[in-house]
Amino acid sequence: MAVLNVRVDDHVRDQLKEMADAEGVTLSEYVRDLLLEAVMPVYAADVKHGDEPAPESMRTIDRQVLSLLHRILARVLPEDANDVDGDLEYQLKRAKILEEGFAGEYWLEVAGLRTELSKRDCGRVSDILQMFRIITFSINHLREDGTPVDQKLAFELEFQGFDHNDALEGHMATYVEYQMRDDRWSELKPQVERNDHGNSHARMLDTYMRMLGEYRRIMDSRKRGFNRFDYLLTLDELQQIADARVHPSNRPPR
């Protein structure tokens, strides 16, 4: 067991000794317990994506505003209210927590809120959808032009959604659903439906990012186009993107 030497003023040592005596333990045991409490709390939940950690503190103005909102909601709820907003008593209880500053109960204010899906991850989702849109347009154009596209290749280049059992990918799947709430990405909706409504049942983000990297390299090598067909992919380019699905360590040597 490691030994930790700490220098403190005499009056601090005396106060600690008095507190240790009151607890019926030695000074060393008392100080060790204080250190353990600081670095090893009895309960510390693992915070994963999707869990919004409770605030440890709030500004007074935020507490005042939230408390007022709870009190207003308490007064406007119908007498038989029993939905997610609770009833008058529930809202007044939350107002009381904020007014008294019970920081250990602040988790109630974020209960039901998800961790933010970062701007970077939102951008990733949009870029992935855009890639699959171009892939879909390209396959359809090749087939209409008389160039056969192997069914296996077409399947490998289909958007399969995200893993709903993974916290981050599940959040991305929700963002896809939000993005598709109207006519956006309509050409990809059949693919989402075919793949269990966008649930891949396996993590796909790494695979999509490898495909996206290859797609970007292909597009970056081109001159700027002015015709919508200039952005379509050739059969060889589609195969390159499909090959990128496989992790480099698992690819056969060339």
| Environment class of 121 (CB within 10 Å of its CB; exposed 0-12, middle 13-18, buried 19+) | middle
Digit-coded pLDDT (tens) for 199-213:
999 999 999 999 999
Lowest model confidence (mean pLDDT) among 33-37, 67-71, 205-209, 229-233? 33-37
Kindly report which listed range (47-61, 97-111, 161-175) carries the lowest average pLDDT score. 47-61
CA angle, 96 as apex, 94 and 102 as ends, to 5°? Answer: 90
Q: What is the pLDDT of residue 164?
A: 96
Nearest to 204 by CA among 251, 249, 247, 238: 247
Q: Tell me the mean pLDDT in the region 59-68.
A: 96
Task: Say if residues 163 and 203 touch (Cβ distance below 8 Å).
Answer: yes
Task: Burial-class residue 128 by CB neighbours within 10 Å (0-12, 13-18, 19+).
Answer: buried
Lowest mean pLDDT among 76-80, 83-87, 172-176: 83-87
Q: Is the pTM of this model over 0.85?
A: no
